[in-house]
Amino acid sequence: MKVLVIGKGGREHSLCWRLNQSPTVWGLYCTGGSPGINQVAKPVDIAPDDFAGLVRFAAAEKIDLTIVGPEAPLAGGIVDQFERAGLTIFGPSQAAAQLESSKAFAKLVMREAGVPTADFATFDDADAARRYVKSLGRPCVVKADGLAMGKGVTVCASADAALAAVADAMETRRFGAAGARVVIEEMLRGEELSFFALCDGAGAVALGCAQDHKAVFDGDRGPNTGGMGAYTPVPRYGAEFEERVMHEVVRPTLTAMAARGNPFRGVMFAGLMVDGDRIKVLEYNVRFGDPECEALMMRFDGDLAETLLAIAQGRAREVAIRLSSRTAATVVLTAGGYPGDYARGTPIAGLERIDGVEPSEAKVRWAMEKTRVKVFHAGTATRDGALVTDGGRVLAVTALAEGLERAVTAAYEAAGMIRFDGMHYRRDVGARALGHMPA
């Protein structure tokens, strides 16, 4: 089949990398492309928000399946336009994508579905939000209602912090229109997990569990980012836990969305907070996580294109997910200053020691240990023949190995071979699971 991937970040690079290995794929295209993606897919010079142009391309090239990576095109209605043109596309409709594009909508669906979540209130008026914060008298979380590239959630340990977050979102408009409405909810404590299920509107199949590292600095300090690292599987959360999430979260949500007349198709990514036996949903996302996708694609064992096509065609019951028993760990290398202001165009060196032919002691040991290391390009470009930075999150260094400790060690060894001015990355990916930091 011929496949088109929308998006050009690390998530899309990992999808293209895995799709390129699908025996049923003989034509693979990706919008925009990148120095990494272009090694496995043909770049298409059409913007992800040019839906009409993408529909024309898919029709002219007889694309059998389009896969949408980022949330913005989904929220904008790309799936609706493709389906009106009779084209097969993997992802939710614009109405169903509200599970991510509106925190307030998602909370209402959780309430209707009986899905456990934090107590909350929604505000369109900043003064009313401030009065609510003052009445709480306990820590809370302030969330911009709309899409904010993973940075619209502020965890507030005090009323002053919450008041500042309300002003930041609703008055300063740090997140643009996304912050015109806010959801304020109780702060949950426990271990945060990312759970993924492939849904065809009526049925679903579990894809797996991962743990993301959202804060920019070690020890979960500093502002939230789009994701600084991830690993999968997560110790202690195996098949029994996954079935419980399917029963308590995924299937009730599918039922509630279908009852609304907006059946959900695509990836349901539930952010969970687990505290002992208690599971609560923090939020929904409607696409593959980033960098969770990079780690999951390293473990995925099978024909990804055939799997996603079956889901898009309403055949979830035919899908059997196979994941490697080994562990995948991803370390994200960012530009200095991210998630704030950062420079672009900084030369990158060292990838040839990992992806190229230059030998290293680590590569020899990885081969002996049957460890696989892959660097996914999240924000890179080529200028005058040289690889340079072109985003806040630049590279996602991912390793697949026997056990979390080996996977993390290999990912950090590979990260240490890469250099660019201002490069920053967290040094504690997987530390909690390895017992190196408090639970």
Domains assigned to the chain = 2-90 (3.40.50.20), 125-180 (3.30.1490.20), 190-318 (3.30.470.20), 327-416 (3.90.600.10)
Amino acid found at 284: Y
Tokens of 4: 């088109």
Report the alpha-carbon distance of residue 93 to residue 201 in Å, rounded.
11
Full-model pTM: 0.93
The residue whose two tokens read 């950090």 is 412
| Confidence (pLDDT) at 438 | 53
Q: Which of 233, 14, 201, 224 lies closest to 91, judged by CA?
A: 201
Angle at 195 between CA 194 and CA 200, to 5 degrees: 140
Report yes or no: 49 and 73 within 8 Å, Cβ to Cβ.
yes
| Confidence (pLDDT) at 331 | 98
pLDDT along the chain (439 residues), means of 10: 98 98 97 95 96 98 98 97 98 97 94 94 93 90 87 88 93 91 92 97 96 95 93 94 97 98 98 95 95 98 97 96 97 96 96 80 87 97 96 98 96 97 97 75
| Confidence (pLDDT) at 357 | 64
Report yes or no: 327 and 295 within 8 Å, Cβ to Cβ.
no
Amino acid found at 252: P
Report the alpha-carbon distance of residue 377 to residue 106 in Å, rounded.
31
Report the alpha-carbon distance of residue 48 to residue 6 in Å, rounded.
6
The residue whose two tokens read 């898919």 is 58
Helix, strand, coil percentages for the chain (3-state, nearest 5): 35, 30, 40
385 contacts: CB under 8 Å, gap ≥ 6: none
Report the alpha-carbon distance of residue 30 to residue 33 in Å, rounded.
6
